[in-house]
Amino acid sequence: MAKISLENWSEKIRDPEIECMSREEMKALQSEKLVKQVKNVYENVAFYRKKMDEAGVKPEDIRSIDDIGKLPFTTKEDLRENYPFGLLAVPQSKIARVQGTSGTTGKLTLASYTEKDVDVWGECVARALTMAGLTEEDKLHVCYGYGLFTGGMGLDLGARALGCMSIPMSSGNTQRQLMCMEDFGATAFACTPSYAMYLAEAAKEAGVVERLQLKAGINGAEPWTDEMRHQIEDTLNVNCFDIYGLCEITGPGVACDCIHHKGLHVYEDHFFPEVLNPVDHTPCAEGETGELVFTTLSKEGMPLIRYRTKDLTSIEYGKCECGRTLPRIQKFTGRTDDMKVIRGVNVFPTQVEAALLSIGEGVAPHYMMVVDRENNLDVLTVMVEVDEKYFSDEIRKLEALKKKIELALKQALGVAVKVKLCEPKSIQRSEGKAKRVIDNRNL
């Protein structure tokens, strides 16, 4: 199947009443839900009762969504301290399933869901799949991992709610993935963008792209750029969509972008978003970058109040060209904790990726950042894979390419970068979230 152009796209909206609701109606709905949720956590979660008492806030002080700023924050550390079941608002017997972080950093974070929470989760992913143009006629090949990580289960629940076929491949074994995609006639696939890139390369190499029936990619769980999206779309001849989520809030399906790619629509009837200044926690203006904070308005099992995601983004409330009024968060510039400060300059892996992709010919979008400290000076080395054709070329050409990359990175990051050119396919591929930075500084 072919990639659909914007002009030929026919937008489908799963729940127009909610997704296209006026701001006043949405605020009324959120207010009603927040008042109930605050009362619920105060009465049923000792942690919140204590936190609210310490902050001098009573449930009666929360009369509308505009009062949210009076409530205390919840952090990942709070979750760890109350691990595994200390934040439940229901007895453990009411918990239908638990999910955890994918665990690329730190200790496991566990989230608990009741049967209703699982239904809401599936419904949100179904909204996202509809946004990506899927219907009950589709076949979704899921190569996110199944298990505690929410990727596999989340997409599966979405397929079930939508009524389409789910192909629960889980991650790994790329040749087998391609074989099944072709044999079963998958029309959409879901995996991390870095694995999508890898799959796309492998499909091209194996000469199977023409035989696949894919039309859409549902990709998320890690930051990626529009440039990377274009590469995947062009290689596989599909439309790709960015899906966001975190296990604490609901896994994938907290937000997803539409065909206009002007930000990810947040399902704010369930997850109330705030974007706050990461230092003083005051609200950012519309369009200003800050830390994304969520309050779960519908959650029963483990409701979270003002949960600090550490993800950095900005938010916009204007109606989208797709017709939805749901606010849009911009692609993440990183996390408050994956940001690297190199010689006083804040550097995000996504900036490196965008700069590399802007170079085009000769450079593959596979890279690794290594940060060292030499003579008390930070040194950033970016290892970049070079295309096969270039690598066999003469040294002079490689030297010129290296200089070109160094210049592009210096301009993009505002800090000098050493570039090491690597052989094609020498940088480790990931089947889950790509690890892009090795920091040897022990800061």
β-sheet bridge partners, residue 200:
none
Applying CB under 6 A, does 101 fall inside the site for ligand DLL?
A: yes
Q: Which pair of tokens denotes residue 66?
A: 């505009």
Determine which residue in the list 335, 402, 404, 418 makes contact with ligand DLL, applying CB under 6 A.
335
Determine which residue in the list 74, 102, 171, 295 makes contact with ligand DLL, applying CB under 6 A.
102
Residue with tokens 């194996």: 206
In the complex with ligand DLL, the residue whose CB is nearer, 31 or 350, is: 350
In the complex with ligand DLL, the residue whose CB is nearer, 145 or 362, is: 145
Applying CB under 6 A, does 268 fall inside the site for ligand DLL?
A: no
- Asked if residues 124 and 253 have their Cβ atoms less than 8 Å apart, the reply is yes
Orientation angle between helical segments 395-413 and 349-359, nearest 10 degrees: 140
Applying CB under 6 A, does 244 fall inside the site for ligand DLL?
A: yes
Q: Considering only CA atoms, which of 59, 54, 138, 148 is closest in space to residue 98?
A: 148
- Asked if residues 186 and 212 have their Cβ atoms less than 8 Å apart, the reply is yes
What mask of x and - would describe binding to ligand DLL in positions 224 to 243, judged by CB under 6 A? ------------------xx
In the complex with ligand DLL, the residue whose CB is nearer, 122 or 252, is: 252
- Kindly state the smallest distance separating residue 310's Cβ from ligand DLL, in Å: 7
Hey, how many other C-beta atoms are within 10 angstroms of the C-beta on 310? 18
Applying CB under 6 A, does 150 fall inside the site for ligand DLL?
A: yes
Report residue 246: phi and psi, to 5°. Answer: -150, 145
In the complex with ligand DLL, the residue whose CB is nearer, 159 or 246, is: 246
In the complex with ligand DLL, the residue whose CB is nearer, 223 or 327, is: 223
How far apart (Å, rounded) are the C-alpha atoms in residues 118 and 413?
A: 41
In the complex with ligand DLL, the residue whose CB is nearer, 133 or 253, is: 253
In the complex with ligand DLL, the residue whose CB is nearer, 31 or 314, is: 314
How far apart (Å, rounded) are the C-alpha atoms in residues 350 and 435?
A: 12
Which amino acid type is present at position 323? G
Nearest residue to ligand DLL, scored by beta-carbon proximity:
220
In the complex with ligand DLL, the residue whose CB is nearer, 242 or 269, is: 242
CA geometry: angle 293, 353, 346, nearest 5 deg: 55
Determine which residue in the list 19, 222, 385, 431 makes contact with ligand DLL, applying CB under 6 A.
222
Applying CB under 6 A, does 223 fall inside the site for ligand DLL?
A: yes
In the complex with ligand DLL, the residue whose CB is nearer, 245 or 362, is: 245
How far apart (Å, rounded) are the C-alpha atoms in residues 265 and 271?
A: 11
In the complex with ligand DLL, the residue whose CB is nearer, 203 or 243, is: 243
Mark the segment that binds ligand DLL (CB under 6 A) among 1-9, 117-125, 245-253, 392-400. Answer: 245-253
How far apart (Å, rounded) are the C-alpha atoms in residues 386 and 393?
A: 11
Applying CB under 6 A, does 113 fall inside the site for ligand DLL?
A: no
Applying CB under 6 A, does 144 fall inside the site for ligand DLL?
A: yes
Applying CB under 6 A, does 262 fall inside the site for ligand DLL?
A: no
Report residue 40: phi and psi, to 5°. Answer: -60, -50
Determine which residue in the list 129, 169, 200, 247 makes contact with ligand DLL, applying CB under 6 A.
247
Report residue 189: phi and psi, to 5°. Answer: -135, 150
What mask of x and - would describe binding to ligand DLL in positions 60 to 99, judged by CB under 6 A? ----------------------------------------
Residue 434: CA atoms inside 13 Å, Cβ hemisphere, count?
25
Q: Is 207 helix (H, G, I), strand (E, B) or coil?
A: coil
Applying CB under 6 A, does 191 fall inside the site for ligand DLL?
A: no
DSSP 68-91: GGGSPPB-HHHHHHTTTTTT-SS-
Determine which residue in the list 195, 332, 348, 367 makes contact with ligand DLL, applying CB under 6 A.
332
Q: Write out the binding residues for ligand DLL, residues 293-312 only, by CB under 6 A.
A: 309, 311
> In terms of DSSP bridges, do strands 139-142 and 165-168 run parallel, antiparallel, or are they unpaired?
parallel
Q: Which pair of tokens denotes residue 270?
A: 């369930």
How far apart (Å, rounded) are the C-alpha atoms in residues 405 and 384?
A: 9
How far apart (Å, rounded) are the C-alpha atoms in residues 79 and 85?
A: 9
DSSP code of 165? E
Determine which residue in the list 158, 245, 273, 365 makes contact with ligand DLL, applying CB under 6 A.
245
In the complex with ligand DLL, the residue whose CB is nearer, 219 or 325, is: 219
How far apart (Å, rounded) are the C-alpha atoms in residues 82 and 78?
A: 6
- Kindly state the smallest distance separating residue 40's Cβ from ligand DLL, in Å: 23
Applying CB under 6 A, does 187 fall inside the site for ligand DLL?
A: no
Determine which residue in the list 252, 263, 290, 362 makes contact with ligand DLL, applying CB under 6 A.
252
Binding site for ligand DLL (CB under 6 A): 101-102, 144, 149-151, 154, 220-223, 242-247, 251-252, 309, 311, 332, 335
